[in-house]
Each structure stands twice: as C-alpha cells, then as structure tokens.
C-alpha cells in the first residue's frame, strides 16, 4: 500500500512538472496567431512588383518618393493602387478612375480594407486619418487623385468623402508598360500639372552633386542620397572593376536622364532605351567586352529576380557579357533588400569599395591568395 502511494506521488509530480514546462493552450494559440500574422505581412513577388511599379510612376510625375522612408513610400504606392482598383494581378491598362456616380471610389477605411485583403497588410481601420493626412495627400496635391468625388463640398472629416483617380490623368497609369507612349503622357502631365517636388522645394536652384566620368567629362547630378550613390558608382566602382569603362547612361532623380549615349547602346544591341526601363547606370568595358547594368538602391529595388529577367529580355541580342550590379550605401541598406536580390548578380557597398559580393553558385569557389603568402 505504501509503495502504491509513493508511486502515485511520483506520477503526480511528473505530471505537474510536465504541465509547467509545456506551454499552455492559450500560449500556443497566441504563438500561432503571431506566426500567422507575421506570415500574412510577407508580400508575394507579384505584390512587391506592383508596388515598385507604382513607385516608378509616382517618381516619374514628380512626387518626391526617392528620399522618403521605406514604409512611407510603400504606403503611398498602396494608396495609389487602391484608388485605381489595382490588385497585384490587375493590368495597368485596367486602372479605374472617376467617371461619375457608380465609379470606383474609396473612403480611407475602404482603402485600408483593400490593402489588407490584396497586399497582405495588417493595418488597423482606426488609422484611417493617417491614410488621408500622410499618404493620400501626395496623390491629391499632385492632382493624380481626386478627393470628395461624389460630394465636392464635403468637409475634411465627412465620412462620405471618397478618393478616385482623376480622369484627366488616368493615362499616366493605363499606358504604363508601353514606354514610348507612357513617357509622352508623363511629359504632358508635368507640363500641365507641374512637379509636386518642385512646388514643395519652392526653389529653382538646387544644390548639385558634381561627378567626373572615367573619360574626364564632368556632370552635375541633383542633390540627394540616390545621386550620391550614383556618384560613388561612377567614381569608385567603375575605376576598380570596369577598367576605365565608358559610361553610356546615367539617370537623375530630377531630370530622369542626365546622360544617354544612344548610338553606342544601339551598337551593343541594347533593345530598350526608355528612361523608365533602363537601370540607374549603364557602362561598357571595351577591353573585356562587358556591359555593366547597375542599380543604385536607395528608394527603389535592387536587381530582383523580376528586374533581372526584364533586363535579360531587353539585352537578349546584346553582343557584350552583361554584369548585373546592385549598389548600396552600406550593409544596413543591403539588409533591407537582401531577400530580393537575384542569383547571378553582384552587390557592391560604398562603405567597402574594394570588395564585391557575388550571388552565385560555384563560380568563385576557390582559395583566397593571402597577401603574405
């Protein structure tokens, strides 16, 4: 009998210890919900591509997204996509605009719902006022989006206010993907509406970033962190790895194209010369017949898988070996985009100019020759 009691006490003690060491059902449910929430926030390649395309459109018409924090510019892009009823798989040609009562138009809470349903967001509906004050304001002030479509006299806090794409500017969205026509539409938009960035700056004379090309020619880029990165690419990366490569194209955040050696690019059978399709810097090394396609990653994405595929298609007839490069300011900047970078491409950091990170298999699997060997 005594032995049975001892055994019962031992079994009870073991059960109590097991219960204490294992998480409760409530804790398990909480953990499962957290994991589901985290998984939901991860965007698909199609969602990321649509957001990046929206950012390119916004930058092209003069909305100053280049120097914004990553989350702010993403939300502005999402606001545009919601206002135009563009899901990740919806073609740009099907963008919606205001065409009278019954047209697609959303309130701020409906915009949040659109984000959460179609772009894996988890934004609280209670933050609707931030959507109006911090995201939509750029689209409204640029006249790309109309506010209070069905009730122009509605007050700021009127729940009947709805936002929709301005029918006068809808072609900026619907022609995206047809570079020549789209560029004409963008140019016409900027003539008619002006650049929001210029209006916000309230100045005509901007600070300049002087750049010296390998040929000795001098350029002046507009002031900003993106162009600081392009300066480093031209003055630090190319002399190290390009063997005096000739620069054939340089974009600029305010002018779109600062340098374009069109004839030379056509000689190399570069298919597409539209400004929105070209990478930030294009350079050619005649000694080794290499064409460098370089993205300066500050606000827009690096050489992602989709970008890599697009550039390969554009240069499929190119007679030179193509080198795809993503340039970052430092490791912290790289960390933000690391999962987006495509294989068979290179990464260069301004903070470590003498080293290149190669995203590949066994191409560079070899012993490193020590300096004192």
Q: What pLDDT sits at residue 237?
A: 93
Q: Which residues contact 184 (CB under 8 A, 6 or more apart)?
A: none
Report the alpha-carbon distance of residue 166 to residue 151 in Å, rounded. Answer: 15
Report the alpha-carbon distance of residue 233 to residue 282 in Å, rounded. Answer: 10
Beta-strand relationship, 321-328 and 345-349: parallel
Q: Given a cut of 80, is residue 110 above it in pLDDT?
A: yes
Q: Given a cut of 50, is residue 371 above it in pLDDT?
A: no
Answer yes or no: are the C-beta atoms of 233 and 327 closer than 8 Å: yes
Beta-strand relationship, 290-296 and 321-328: parallel
- Residue 24: left (phi > 0), alpha (psi -120 to 50), or beta? beta
**Tens of pLDDT, residues 241-286:** 988 788 888 887 655 557 778 888 888 887 666 555 788 899 999 8
Q: Single out the residue of 348, 372, 338 nearest to residue 294, CA to CA.
A: 348
Q: Which fold has domain 45-197?
A: Arc Repressor Mutant, subunit A (1.10.10)
Q: What is the DSSP letter of 340?
A: G
Q: Given a cut of 80, is residue 29 above it in pLDDT?
A: no
CATH 3.40.630.30 for domain 208-359, yes or no, is no
Alpha helices in 194-330 (DSSP H): 196-201, 225-232, 238-241, 262-267, 305-314
pLDDT interval class at 129 (50, 70, 90): confident
Round the average pLDDT of the chain to a whole number and report it.
81
Answer yes or no: are the C-beta atoms of 311 and 324 closer than 8 Å: yes
Domain with CATH 3.40.1350.80 in the chain: 208-359
**Tens of pLDDT, residues 60-86:** 999 988 888 899 999 999 999 999 999
Report the alpha-carbon distance of residue 339 to residue 284 in Å, rounded. Answer: 28
Q: What pLDDT sits at residue 221?
A: 77
Answer yes or no: are the C-beta atoms of 349 and 329 closer than 8 Å: yes
Alpha helices in 119-162 (DSSP H): 128-130, 137-141
Is the pTM higher than 0.75? The answer reads no
Tokens of 103: 């047209």
**Tens of pLDDT, residues 179-224:** 899 999 999 999 888 888 877 765 444 566 777 776 777 877 777 7
Report the alpha-carbon distance of residue 322 to residue 344 in Å, rounded. Answer: 10
Q: Given a cut of 50, is residue 91 above it in pLDDT?
A: yes
Tokens of 182: 């789209």
**E strand or H helix that includes residue 325:** strand 321-328
Q: Given a cut of 90, is residue 1 above it in pLDDT?
A: no
Q: Single out the residue of 89, 139, 162 nearest to residue 119, CA to CA.
A: 89
3-state secondary structure of 355: coil
What average pLDDT score do residues 358-372 get?
Answer: 59
Q: What is the DSSP letter of 165?
A: E
Q: Given a cut of 70, is residue 328 above it in pLDDT?
A: yes
Q: What is the DSSP letter of 164?
A: E
Domain with CATH 1.10.10.1820 in the chain: 45-197
C-alpha dist (Å) from residue 109 to 60, 114, 131, 155: 28, 9, 9, 16
Q: Given a cut of 80, is residue 294 above it in pLDDT?
A: yes
Higher per-residue pLDDT: 103 or 158: 103
Answer yes or no: are the C-beta atoms of 21 and 14 closer than 8 Å: no
Q: What pLDDT sits at residue 25?
A: 55
Q: Report the DSSP beta bridge partners of residue 220.
A: 210
3-state secondary structure of 292: strand
Q: What is the DSSP letter of 187?
A: H
- Sheet bearing 256-260, strands edge to edge: 256-260, 246-252, 281-285, 290-296, 321-328, 345-349, 356-359
Q: What pLDDT sits at residue 178?
A: 92
Answer yes or no: are the C-beta atoms of 273 and 259 closer than 8 Å: no
User: CB pairs under 8 A, 24+ apart, for 217-222?
Assistant: 219/250, 219/258, 219/259, 221/250, 221/252, 221/253, 221/258, 222/252, 222/253, 222/254, 222/255
Q: Given a cut of 60, is residue 236 above it in pLDDT?
A: yes
């Amino acid at each position: 009998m005594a032995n049975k009691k001892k055994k019962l006490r031992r079994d009870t003690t073991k059960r109590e210890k097991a219960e204490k060491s294992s998480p409760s059902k409530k804790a398990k449910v909480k953990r499962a919900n957290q994991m589901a929430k985290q998984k939901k926030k991860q965007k698909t390649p199609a969602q990321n591509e649509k957001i990046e395309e929206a950012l390119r459109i916004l930058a092209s018409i003069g909305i100053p997204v280049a120097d914004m924090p990553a989350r702010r510019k993403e939300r502005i892009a999402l606001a545009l996509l919601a206002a135009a009823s563009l899901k990740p798989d919806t073609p740009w040609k099907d963008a919606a605009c205001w065409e009278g009562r019954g047209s697609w138009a959303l309130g701020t809470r409906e915009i949040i719902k659109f984000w959460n349903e179609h772009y894996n967001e988890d934004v609280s509906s209670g933050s609707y006022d931030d959507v109006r004050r911090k995201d939509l304001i750029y689209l409204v002030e640029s006249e790309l989006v109309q506010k209070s479509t069905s009730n122009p006299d509605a007050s700021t806090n009127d729940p009947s206010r709805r936002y929709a794409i301005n029918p006068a500017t809808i072609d900026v969205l619907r022609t995206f993907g047809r570079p020549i026509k789209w560029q004409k539409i963008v140019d016409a938009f900027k003539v008619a509406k002006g650049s929001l960035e210029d209006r916000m700056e309230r100045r005509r004379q901007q600070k300049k970033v002087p750049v010296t090309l390998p040929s000795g020619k001098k350029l002046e880029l507009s002031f900003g962190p993106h162009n600081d990165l392009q300066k480093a690419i031209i003055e630090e990366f190319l002399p190290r790895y390009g063997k005096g490569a000739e620069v054939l194209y340089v974009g600029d955040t305010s002018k779109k194209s600062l340098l374009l050696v069109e004839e030379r690019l056509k000689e190399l059978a570069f298919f597409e010369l539209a400004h929105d399709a070209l990478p930030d810097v294009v350079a050619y090394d005649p000694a080794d017949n290499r064409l460098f396609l370089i993205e300066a990653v500050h606000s827009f994405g690096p050489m992602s898988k989709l970008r890599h595929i697009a550039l390969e298609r554009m240069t499929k007839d190119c007679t030179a070996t193509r080198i795809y490069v993503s340039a970052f300011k430092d490791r912290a900047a790289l960390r933000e985009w690391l999962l987006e970078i495509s294989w068979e491409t290179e990464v260069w950091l301004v903070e470590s100019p003498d080293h290149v990170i190669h995203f590949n298999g066994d191409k560079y699997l070899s012993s490193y020759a020590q300096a004192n060997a």
